[in-house]
């Protein structure tokens, strides 16, 4: 079992909201004994088209090899 914190920056194009955005997440990852990865982060999301800030969050589940 291992727990790590992460931060970063993402710039991309939204599939559902059809616009360019940037996202500054701050989150936590957990690696289980069975090599499953659980990740959660939150942070502000800036939409360039509307010039507005929105709250953002992601939750990810995966398998480490």
pTM for the whole structure: 0.69
Torsion sign, CA atoms 41, 30, 59, 63: positive
- Which single residue is written with the structure tokens 């499953």? 36
Band of residue 16 on the pLDDT scale cut at 50, 70, 90 = confident
Q: What are the tens digits of pLDDT across the range 31-55?
A: 999 999 999 999 999 988 888 998 9
Tokens of 23: 């996202």
Rounded distance between C-alpha atoms, residue 65 and residue 59, angstroms: 20
Give the residue, 16 or 53, on which the prediction is more confident. Answer: 53
pLDDT of the residue at 41: 95
Say how many Å lie between the first and final Cα of the chain, rounded: 15
């Amino acid at each position: 079992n291992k727990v790590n914190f992460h931060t970063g920056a993402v710039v991309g194009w939204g599939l559902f909201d059809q616009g360019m955005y940037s996202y500054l997440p701050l989150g936590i990852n957990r690696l289980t004994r069975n090599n499953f990865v659980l990740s959660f982060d939150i942070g502000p999301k800036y939409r360039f088209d509307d010039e507005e800030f929105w709250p953002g969050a992601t939750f990810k589940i995966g398998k480490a090899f």
